[in-house]
Structure 1
Amino acid sequence: MRRLLLPGLAVLFICLVAAAAPLLPMPDPVRQDVANRLAVWLPGSPLGRDEFGRDVLSRLIWGAQSSLMVAFISSAIAAIIGTMLGLLGGWFRGVAEFLAIRGADVVLCFPPVLLALLVVTLLGPGTATLILVLSVLYLPGFIRVSFAEVLSARSQDYVEAVRALGAPTTRILLRTVLPNIAGPVLVQFSLAVAAAVVLESGLSFLGLGVVPPTPSWGLMIRGARSTMEQAPMLLVWPCVALTFTILAMNILCDAVRDVADKRGGGGAKRLRLVDRLLPGLFPPPAAPVPLLDVQGLTVEIAVPGGIIKPVQDMSFTLMAGRTLAIVGESGSGKSMAATSIMGLLPPAARVADGVARFEGEDLLRMPEAQRRKLRGGAMAMVFQDPMSSLNPVHRVGDQVAEAIRAHRDVPADAARREAVELLKRVGIADPERRARAYPHELSGGMRQRVMIAMAIANKPRLLIADEPTTALDVTVQAAILELLADLRREEGMGVVLITHSLGVVAEVAEDVVVMYAAQVVERGPVAEVFARPLHPYTRALLAAVPDGDAEPEGIPGVVPRPDQWPPGCRFAPRCAHATDACNQAPPALEAEGDRAVRCIRWREFAP
C-alpha cells in the first residue's frame, strides 16, 4: 500500500487542480490579448502568453481538465461495456464468446489514427467524437482481460457452491464472479486512463480531437510549432505537464497492479503504454521467452553393436499456457525425449547433442543438484503407469505429502492437510479416506489422479504427461483430460502431452509434434496439421483413426529398430509414395511458415 501513496497523491493533485479550474483566480483561457502575444511574463501570467495572447498557465490547467475528462469518461465507458461483454462471453461461451472476442479482434485491426479519421469524417471533430473513438479503442482490452479471468473463475469451487444453491445466473455473475475479477479490470482501467491522456493529446494535435478554442495540451503543442524560434517555452510547458501526468499515472498503474494482483503477477500483466496507444505503428516488443525450447536434442545409447540414437535432432518450442502433443507409434522416441528433458535417462543413455532450455536455462548443461530442485517443483512429470510409479507400501496421502515437503519447508501435519486438498482438487471423492488408502486399493483412474496431484503439488510451470490415459476406460480418460485442461487454465502452466491418440490431441492440444523412428517428421499447429497433413506418415496416422462407419486404414510394416534405420527416409519402406530418391540420403526438416516437415516430396502430395 505504501507504493500507492506517492503516485496516488501526485495523480490526485493533478485531478483536483483540473477540477478546481473554474474556481481558481486565473484569466479566461480563451480571451485573446494580441498586444501581449508571445510575452514571456506579465503580472498575473507567470508562464507568459501564447501566440494569440492567451494566458499559458490558465490554458494548461483548463487543458488538464479537458484531457482528464476525456480520458476518464472514455475509459469508464470501455470498462463497463468491455467487462460486461467479457463476463457474458466467458460464462456462456458459444455465440456470446464469438461475438465478444471476434468483435474485439475486428477493432484491433484498425490503427488508432485511421479509426479516428473514419469517425471524425462521419461525425465531425469534437470532444464527444473523441470520447467515442477512445472508448472503442480501449474496449478490446477490457473484453480480453475480463474474458480470461471469467474462464479461470468459473471453475472455482466457490462458484460451483453458489450454483449448487440455485442462485440465478445474474446474481452469480454480479455478486460472485465480478468481485473476483475486479483486480485485473482495475489495473486495465488505470492503464487505459494513462494511455487515453496521451492519445487524446496526439489526436488533438492532428486536429481530430478537441476543437479550438477549448484548451487542450495537444492543441497547445500544435499551436506552439509555428513560434518555436521566438518562444520555445510555449512548447515546453504543455510537454512538461503531459510528461509529469503520464509518469505519475504509469507509476500508479504499477503500484495498483502489484496491490491488486494477489497471485504474485499471474493475473494482471504489465503492458507497455506505447504498444497500447499505437499498435502496429511502433516496433513490437521482444518476443516472450518460451517456457520450454528444445533444439537439436539427440540421445545416444551404447549397445554391443555400437551406438544407437533413439532420439535424433528433435526440436520444438512450448509457450506458457499451451499444450503441445508428441505423437507417433511405439518406438518412435517420445518417452525417451521426455525423460531426457527431465534428466531421468537410464545410466546406459546420455544426451549427445542439443539444448533444452526451461525459461531460458539449459536443463541439459545444468548441474544435477540444480535440476533436482526443479523436478517436482517448477517442472513435473506424470508417468503412464501409475501402479508402478506409486510406492506400494506407503499410503497415497503420505506420498503426496512427501512431494510437498521435498520442495517446501512445511510441517508434516500441514503437508498431510494440503495433500487431502490436492486429492479433492483432482476429483477424488472422499479424499480424507482415500488419502489413508494404499495404491492397490484404488482404481486405475484414481491412481492416475493421485499421480497428477503429486505432480501439481508445488504449482509447476511445466507438466510433462507421458500417456496419462493409457489402459483407462473412455469415461475415466475424458475426466483425466478435462482435469489437465482445467489445471492448465487455472495455473497457466505449459503441458507436453505424449500420446498415441490423435483424438486426444485434437481435443486438448494447440501444437503437435509427429515423431517417427527417433525423428520429428512434422510439426505445427494441431488444426493445420490435421486439416492439411504434409508428411505421408502423418496422413497414414490420421487414416488409421476410426471415423464412423469407415474402415480405418492400417499402416503396413512396423517401426524399424534403432540399429536398423534405413539409409534415406526412415518411413520410405512403409511409404506408398517412396521413390529411389527417398532411399538415397536422409531428408532435412524443412520449415514452411509455422509448419515443418521432413520429406523431399511433400509439395507434390500436400492437400
Structure 2
Amino acid sequence: MSLVSRFPRKMILPSLLLAALIVIPFAAPLITDADPVKISVRDRLASPSTAHWLGQDEFGRDRLARVLYGGQVSLMVAFVATSIACVVGTLFGLIGAYFRGPFQFVTTRLSDVVLCFPPILLALLVVTLFGPGTGTLVSVLSILYFPAFARISFSEALRVSALDFVEASRALGTPSRKIVMNTILPNIAGPVSVQYSLTAAAAITIESGLSFLGLGVVPPAPSWGQMIRGARQFMNQDPLGIIIPCVALTLTIYAINFFCDRLRDTLDPKGSGAGKDATSVPSSDGAALAAAPDTVAEIRNLRLEIPRPAGAVPVIEEVSLTLRANQCTALVGESGSGKSLSSLALMGLLPDAIRQAGGSLSLRRKSGEMVDLGKLGPKQLEGLRGNDVAMIFQEPMTSLNPVHKVGAQMVEAILAHRKMTRDEARALAIRLLTLVGINEPERRFDGYPHEMSGGMRQRVMIAMALTCEPRLLICDEPTTALDVTIQAEIIELLQRLRHDYADGLSLLFISHNLGVVAEIADRVAVMYAGQVVEEGPATEVLTAPRHPYTKALLHSMPSSHEELHSARGDRLQAVDGAPPLPERRPSGCSFRDRCPIATAACAATRPPLLALPGADHQVRCHYAQDPEREAA
C-alpha cells in the first residue's frame, strides 16, 4: 500500500497548508528575481504592478521579495528555537518524572528559575547584552521556552508513570530507558505537540516584536517585524504595507496551530477515528420504526467501525436486538465481545474513535413515538438520555462524583429533564432512595459517596437512573464490583422495579456471569467477536444451547443452579484460546479457531443468524441444525 493511501486523512489539509507556508518563503528565488534589500527612492510606496506584485515599501524595496525572505528568517528562528526547547524540555520532564529524587528537583527548580523572568524582558536583556542577530534570537528563545515543555512533560509523565501498563513493563524487567522512550513518551505526545504549536507561534511573535523594536534581525536583512515597523509611519496613506506582513504572521500561526491540533488527535489512538464529525450514519429504511407496540428499543444490523488509514476495522457486525416492555434481555460474552459498545450506541455515547457505519437504532419515547437515533442531533440525544433511556455503569465506586453530595447529584439529574422546584426535586430524590431500599434516605441524601458502601452506591445509581422514569434501563455489569450477597440484593431490586414499573420498564442487562443472568433474564443474546452468535429465551439458551461458544461458556462457569448443572455436568472446562482482535478476525466463522467441531466450511463462509425450526431461537452456526455434528 502506498504512503499516500496510508497517510491519515485528517492530516492532509493541515499538512498541505503548513507545507505551503513553509516552502513558499524558501522558494523565493523561483517566485521573484527582485532583490529584497535594493532601494529605489523614486519608487517609494509605489502601488502593485506587474513588476512588483505587492508594490514597494517606504524605501522602494520590493514588498513580495521582502515578505518571502523575511518569512525565511522568522520561520527558521521559530522552528529551530522551538525544536531545541521541545527536545531539551521534554527530556528534562521525562527524566524528572520517572526517576524522581534529584532529577525531579533539578527539573522543577530550573524551570521555576527561568519562569520567574517575564519572557519579553528576558529576551530584551539578553539581546541588549549580546547584540541583535539570528543566533542570539535562537539561543534566547530556546532558553525561554524549554521550561514550558519540561513542566508539561513532567506532569503528564508523572500521571502516565502511575498507570498499570507502566507497572507491568517494570514487572517484565523492561529497561528504564525503553520504558521512558517507548512507553511513556508516546502517551504524552499529544500535549507536547499542542505545546509545540503554541511555542512556535509565540516564538514567531517574539521574533517579530524584537525586530520591530530594532533588537532582532539586523537591517537591512528583511523580517516581518521590520516590515511592520517601517510601514507603521505610512499606514494611513499606504495601509497595504502593514497589512501584508500582518497577514503573513496570522496565516503562519494559524497553520502551525491547525497542524499540531490535528497531529495531537492522530497520535492519540483513542481519538483517531472520525468521531462526531464522521460521515453521517446511514439512514434507516423506515422499517425500523414500524415496531410492535411493546417494543421499547430496536437494533437492526448494527455495524460499528474504527476508521484507519489502511481501511476501516469493524468492531460490531450485524447485531440485531429487540427490547420489549417488562422484559429483561441479557447480553453475555467474554470481555471485548462488543456488549458495552452495543449499549453505548443506544445511548448515543460511542467513543470518538468509533463510528456507526451501518444499521439502525430506534427507541420508543415515553410519548409513544418511535424515533430513529441516527437522525437526531446532539441536543436531541441529550433530551433522550436520562429521560427515555438511562444507564447504570459497572463501577459504583467511581460512578458518583466524590466532591459533591449524593443529593446534589440526584437533584441535578432530576432538574435536567423535569420542571420542578428544588424542594420538589429533593422530595422526589428521597422517595427514590427509599424505593431502592436505602435506610435513612434523608441522611444519605445529605452525605457524600465515600460515606456509603459499594452496594449503597449502586442503589443510588439505580435511583438516579430512575429519576425521570425512563422506558429503557441499561445495566452494564452492575454487580461486577460487589460481593455475592450484595449482588443478590441488587438483582432482586432490579427484578422488583421491572415488575412494579407503571409504564413497562425494559432492561438491557450486560454481564459475563451466567449465574446472574439465569436469575434475571427473559431472553439471552450471546455475543462473540462483535456478533450475536445465539439469541433466544433464557431457559432455552441456558439449558439447551446450540452454538459451540455458548456451550463452552456454560461449561466454564460455576453455578449453583440445578438447571445449569444438568446441562453441563459438574466439571468446569476452560475455553481454549482467546477472542481475536477486531483487525485479526479470521475468515468465515469468527469462533472457528476455538471451536471443537469446526470444518473447512467454517473458514470458507460466514454463517448467518439462522432461526431454529419451531422455536424462537436463533443461532449463527453452520451445524446448528445438525444434532449429530453438535454432539461429535
Q: Tell me the TM-score normalised to structure 2 length.
A: 0.50
- Residue aligned with 2:433, SS: helix
- Distance in 1 (CA, whole Å) between partners of 2:334 and 2:609 is 19
| Equivalent residue for 2:618, pick from 589, 596, 600 | 596
| Structure 1 CA distance for aligned equivalents of residues 457 and 307 of structure 2 | 35
Change (3 A) 1:289 1:394: same
Match of 1:510 in 2: 522
Q: Show the counterpart of 1:404.
A: 414
- What letter matches 1:410 in structure 2? M
| Alignment map for 1:149-168 (pairs within 5 Å) | none
* Residue 542 of structure 2: aligned partner: 530
Match of 2:363 among 358, 378, 390: 358
- Matched ranges for 1:17-416 at <5 A: 287-303=292-308, 306-359=311-364, 360-416=370-426
Aligned to 1:577: 597
Q: Rg larger in 1 or in 2? A: 2
Taking a change above 3 Å as real, the CA distance of residues 293 and 417 of structure 1, as seen in their structure-2 partners, is same
2:488 paired residue among 478, 489, 494:
478
* Secondary structure at the counterpart of residue 430 of structure 2: helix
Asked if 1:435 corresponds to 2:445, the answer is: yes
What amino acid sits opposite 1:534 in the alignment? R
Shift of residue 293, structure 1, vs aligned partner: 1.4
1:553 aligned onto 2:565: no
Structure 1 CA distance for aligned equivalents of residues 443 and 292 of structure 2: 48
In structure 1, the partner of 2:554 is: 542
Cα 1:379–1:578 shift into 2, 3 Å: same
C-alpha distance 547-421 of structure 1, shift in aligned 2 (>3 A): closer
Alignment of 1:484-503 (within 5 A): 484-491=494-501, 492-503=504-515
Bigger mean CA offset, 322-331 vs 367-376: 367-376
CA contact (8 A) 1:511 1:526 kept: yes
1:135-154 Cα deviation digits (max 9, x unpaired)? xxxxxxxxxxxxxxxxxxxx
Shift, 1:302, TM fit: 2.0
* Cα offsets for 1:39-65 (capped at 9, x unmatched): xxxxxxxxxxxxxxxxxxxxxxxxxxx
SS at match of 2:322: strand
After TM superposition, the structure 1 = structure 2 runs for residues 411-430 of structure 1, keeping only pairs within 5 Å, are 411-430=421-440
1:77-100, Cα deviation, whole Å (9 max, x unpaired): xxxxxxxxxxxxxxxxxxxxxxxx
Unmatched runs of 5 consecutive residues or more in structure 2: 1-290, 365-369, 561-568
Would the alpha carbon gap of residues 287 and 431 (structure 1) be closer, same or farther in structure 2, given more than 3 Å must change? closer
Distance 1:287 1:338, change over 3 A: closer
- Does the 8 A contact of 2:404 with 2:448 survive in 1? yes
- How far residue 287 of structure 1 moved from its aligned partner, in angstroms, is 4.7
1:44 corresponds in structure 2 to none
- Which residue of structure 2 lines up, in the alignment, with residue 184 of structure 1? none
Question: Aligned partners of 1:406, 1:345: CA distance in 2, in Å?
Answer: 21
Aligned partners of 2:555 and 2:571 also within 8 Å: no
In the alignment, is the contact (CA less than 8 A) between 1:535 and 1:599 conserved in 2? yes
Tell me if the contact between 2:536 and 2:618 (Cα under 8 Å) persists in the aligned partners.
Answer: yes
Partners of 1:287 and 1:393 in 2: how far apart?
44
Q: Verify the 8 A CA contact 1:397 1:435 in the aligned structure 2.
A: yes
Confirm whether residue 467 of structure 1 aligns to residue 477 of structure 2: yes
Deviation digits for residues 370-407 of structure 1 (CA, Å, limit 9, x no counterpart): 22111101111111112322111111111111111000
State the alpha-carbon separation in 1 of the partners of residues 466 and 426 from structure 2.
Answer: 15
- Give the deviation of 1:304 after TM superposition: 5.6
2: CA distance between counterparts of 1:334 and 1:317?
A: 15
Contact residue 341 and residue 364 of structure 1 kept, 8 A? no
Instruction: Note the C-alpha offset of 1:525.
Output: 0.6
Mapped to 2, the partners of 1:590 and 1:289 lie a distance apart of 24
What residue number does 1:56 align with? none
Q: Is the 8 A contact 2:514 2:554 kept in 1?
A: yes
Q: Is the alpha carbon distance of 1:287 and 1:412 closer, same or farther for their aligned partners in structure 2, counting shifts above 3 Å?
A: closer
Describe the SS at the equivalent of 1:558: coil
Q: Secondary structure at the match of 1:337?
A: helix
Contact 1:290 1:319 in 2 (8 A): yes
Alpha-carbon distance in structure 1 between the residues aligned to 2:494 and 2:294: 23
Give the distance between the partners of 1:400 and 1:563, measured in 2 at CA: 41
The SS at the match of 2:598 is coil
- The AA in structure 2 aligned to 1:414 is E
Q: How far apart in 1 are the matches of 2:381 and 2:292?
A: 26
Tell me the equivalent position of 2:130: none
Query: How far is the alpha carbon of 1:361 from its aligned partner?
Result: 1.6
Whole-angstrom CA distance in 2 between matches of 1:568 and 1:475: 43
In 2, Cα distance between equivalents of 1:304 and 1:287? 41
Residues 403-432 of structure 1 show CA distances to partners (whole Å, capped at 9, x for unaligned) of 110001111122122212211111111111
Structure 1 gap ranges (5+) = 1-285
Note if contact 2:515-2:559 (Cα within 8 Å) is conserved in structure 1. no
SS in 1 for 2:362: strand
Question: Deviation at 1:301?
Answer: 1.4
- Distance in 2 of aligned mates of 1:547 and 1:404: 39
Q: Helix, strand or coil for the counterpart of 1:316? A: strand
- 1:445 counterpart (427, 440, 455): 455
- The answer (yes or no) to whether the contact 1:465–1:497 under 8 Å persists in 2 is yes
Distance 1:547 1:349, change over 3 A: closer
* Aligned sequence identity (%): 51
1:437 Cα deviation from its structure 2 partner: 1.7
Q: Distance in 2 between matches of 1:479 and 1:442?
A: 16
SS in 2 for 1:457: coil
Secondary structure class of the residue paired with 1:300: strand
How many Å separate the matches in 2 of 1:547 and 1:433?
38
Alpha-carbon distance between aligned partners in 2 of 1:400 and 1:306, rounded to the nearest angstrom: 44
- Given the alignment, which residue of 513, 519, 540 partners 2:531? 519
The one-letter code sitting in structure 2 at the alignment partner of 1:318 is L
Once the two structures are superposed, what CA deviation does each residue of 1:2-51 show, in whole Å capped at 9, x if it has no partner? xxxxxxxxxxxxxxxxxxxxxxxxxxxxxxxxxxxxxxxxxxxxxxxxxx
Deviation by residue 1:321-347 (Cα, 9 ceiling, x = unmatched): 100000000000000010011000111
Q: Deviations over 1:205-238 (max 9, x none)?
A: xxxxxxxxxxxxxxxxxxxxxxxxxxxxxxxxxx
SS at match of 2:625: helix
Equivalent residue, structure 1, for 2:192: none
Q: 1:525 to 1:415 in 2, by over 3 A?
A: same
Equivalent residue number for residue 214 of structure 2: none
In 1: Cα distance, 2:545 partner to 2:529 partner:
18
CA shift, 1:464, in A, is 0.6
